[in-house]
Amino acid sequence: MLAFTPASNARRRRSSSSTMRISLCLSFVFTALLCLLSSVSAAASRSPSATGNRLLLIHDTEHSPRSSLTELNSILSGRGYATTFRDAKSNSPALVEYDEANFDHVILLSPGSKALPTDLSPQKLVAFLKQGGNVVFGLSAATVTPAMRDLAREFSLEFQERGSALVDHFRVAQGDDGRHASVLIGGPEIDGKTGLYPGGLISNEVIFSRETIEKVKAQPFVYKDGSVHQVGDVPFVFPLILPPGSSFSAEPPTVPSPSSSEEGEEQTPKASLTSEPLAGTTDTLTGLGPFPPVLLGNGSTGSGGGQGAIAQDEGVTSLVSAFQVSDNSARALWIGSSALFSDALLSQGGSNRAVVEDLLGWGLQEKGVLRVVGTQHTRVRAGSEDVRPAYEGEGREGDEGFGEGQRMYRVKDTVTYSIELEQYTPELGWSPAPRDLDLQVTLSMIDPFITVPLHATSANDSTSATNLASPTSSSKSSTTYTATFQLPDRHGVFSFVVLWRRAGFSYLEAKDVAPVRPFNHDEHPRFLSAAWPYVAGAWSTIGGFLVFVVVWVSLDWAKVGAGGVGVVKKTKTA
């Protein structure tokens, strides 16, 4: 039989308490590690783009070899894209197989060949955009083939002919080869040397960050061997980078070779840089200025067409333009200089790298991506005396769809419309949308009847007690915009329409249909002011009839002779 002393009992209690503390510490550490691993895995699994991270980079080995795209690959891989390289003349890997897209994004750089593979035909690329894919086209003055010009016309863009590049004799970048085709874009609002617009980025902070816009104003970036294009009237295309006012589009002169020809060999005359004007046709870029950053459809094409066309309107001539599909907000970027993606310019850092990163961020749907989570419209009670049911025509209990609500309204009802929006960011995924969007809802029946602005609600806003089904305010993952208005005195089938299109943001479109009925027979007021004349006429008829009856009854029929009423028979006197 064992005997335990008080000292041994104390030691046993101390050892058990220390064991419990160690186990608690281990469990805490284990829980923290699990949370850390889950957060890391969630961050790793989150795609940098709202549509996916599979990217196909197609390059021309002659004009854009893979060895010159190291910095571009570093930017893409650093953002989390799974980049696959492919030669422009190769057929694999295929962009689409069995009607399923193998990639979410395509970057097509300098396709100088006359014909592309079948899966990269203009029809296939347009179909890829309609399926929700994003395409970035990187061209140059030497690779604007007729096939690419025809494809650009599908996006309402008219590129200059092959060989025509942006030339500027006043804004030449360091390291230019003497052709003055390496142009500095950006700088102060007015160039101190020429007094003209220096070109640069549009002031749209959805596409370009404020830091990039300010950096380009302070330090211009290089646009090398790039083509220019004119932006058409289609409202879904808009320019992003504008050329300087001192630049023009022409075929750059050929710089004489330093090596001399053999003696006695006939030399071919070559053009050289002189102070004389260049011979040949040129496209003058006049009237350029900042393009409106928000509203679409303000540009128009030039008035001449073809060679020698003059760009009369602001913003119609561009170096980089964007196109967004109306149905699914898929994006296409048209960049006139593929040299922007080369290591020679990206490795310098500065403005060039910042501009390319912002362009790729928008073109691959990393920013400016919005979506509609849901919409709701409800009736607001007029007061405590309004005891009409919340929703009419929703059926009886037990029927299919019971409780969903028919949303049938009566003329002159007050309704509240709400729409929930989310925004995608690479860091947070789907998060609440901005609260300063200029949204509006339109009540229409063939033609618009009422248009009112939508305002973001606060999570702390108290819901009205008279609202039959108050919409939820801004939640953790979405932002709610609401508006309250009165329906018109017109019955029929109306639509609540939200159609919001702004340059840089995804297009938002929502449509809800609701019938609006007239007053029932038992819902009209007892007396209508418009009926007073008719009521007065009825009462006057009744009153006249009563007077006639009274007069008729009060007659003395004994005095009525054979001659009729009121006729007294005369008698002869003797």
The DSSP line for 85-131 is EEETT---S-SEETTEES-SEEEEE---SSS--GGGSHHHHHHHHHT
Distance CA(329)–CA(308), nearest Å, equals 35
First to last CA, the chain: 171
* C-alpha neighbours within 13 Å on the C-beta side of residue 539: 6
109-113, 148-152, 409-413: segment of lowest average pLDDT: 109-113
Q: What average pLDDT does this structure show over 502-516?
A: 94
**Domain membership flag for residue 376:** yes
258 within domain boundaries: no
Q: What integer pLDDT is reported at residue 309 of this predicted model?
A: 31
Q: Is residue 291 part of a domain?
A: yes
Which of these three, 517, 547, 567, is where a domain ends? 517
Can you tell me the distance from the alpha carbon of 363 to that of 49, in angstroms, rounded to the nearest whole number? 10
End position of a domain, from candidates 517, 547, 565 = 517
Please give the pLDDT value at position 287.
37
pLDDT band (50, 70, 90) for residue 285: very low
Question: Mean pLDDT of all residues in the chain?
Answer: 78
Q: How far apart are CA 345 and CA 353, in angstroms?
A: 8
**Same domain as 442, residue 357:** no
Task: Supply the pLDDT for residue 345.
Answer: 92
Residues 301-320 have a mean pLDDT of: 49
Q: Which amino acid is at 97?
A: E
**Sequence-distant (≥ 6) Cβ neighbours of residue 124 within 8 angstroms:** 95, 96, 118
- Residue of 144, 57, 54, 65 whose CA lies nearest to 101: 54
pLDDT score recorded for residue 14 = 56
**pLDDT for the residue numbered 34:** 54
> Who has greater pLDDT, 382 or 562?
382
Average pLDDT over residues 209-225: 93
Mean of pLDDT values over 520-544: 88
For 567: left if phi > 0, alpha if psi spans -120 to 50, otherwise beta; the answer is beta
Specify whether 177 is located in the same domain as 322. yes
pLDDT at 495: 94
In this predicted model, which residue has the larger pLDDT, 91 or 395?
Answer: 91
Provide the pLDDT for residue 467: 42
What share of the chain in percent tops pLDDT 90? 48
- Whole-number pLDDT of residue 528: 79
**pLDDT, tens only, 403-446:** 455 578 999 999 999 999 999 999 989 999 999 999 999 999 98
8 A C-beta contact, residue 500 and residue 439: yes
Q: Write down the pLDDT at residue 464.
A: 39
Q: What is the SS3 assignment for 67?
A: helix
pTM given for the model: 0.74
Same domain assignment for residues 168 and 104: yes
Pick the closest to residue 61 from 96, 97, 85, 25 (CA basis). 85
Domain match, 359 and 431 both: no
- Determine contact, residues 248/369, Cβ cutoff 8 Å: no
Residue 63 confidence (pLDDT): 73
Give the structural domain span for 471.
Answer: 369-386+406-517
Among 159, 164, 165, 243, residue whose Cα is nearest residue 199? 243
Residue 105 has a pLDDT of: 96
Residue 536 banded pLDDT, cuts 50, 70, 90: very high
Of 115-124, 271-280, 445-454, least confident by mean pLDDT is: 271-280
Whether residue 187 lies inside any domain: the answer is yes
Residue 27 has pLDDT above 70, yes or no: no
**Structural domain contains residue 525:** no
Query: Is residue 25 predicted with pLDDT exceeding 70?
Result: no
Q: How far apart are CA 466 and CA 130, in angstroms?
A: 45
The 3-class secondary structure across 168-232, one letter per residue, is CCCCECCCCCCCCCEEEECCCCCCCCCCCCCCEECCCCCCCCHHHHHHHHHCCEEEECCCCEEEC
Same domain, 374 and 338: no
In the chain, the number of structural domains is 2
Residue 102 lies in a domain: yes
Does one domain contain both 338 and 438?
no
Beta strands 82-87; 54-59: pairing state: parallel
Among 516, 486, 485, 512, smallest CA distance to 499 is for 512
Query: What's residue 56's pLDDT?
Result: 95
Helix (H) / strand (E) element for 9: namely helix 6-45
> Looking at the predicted structure, is the pLDDT value of residue 525 above 50?
yes
> For 387-472, where are the alpha helices, taking DSSP H only?
none
| Per-residue pLDDT at 461 exceeds 60 | no
Least confident of 24-38, 56-70, 128-142, 553-567: 24-38
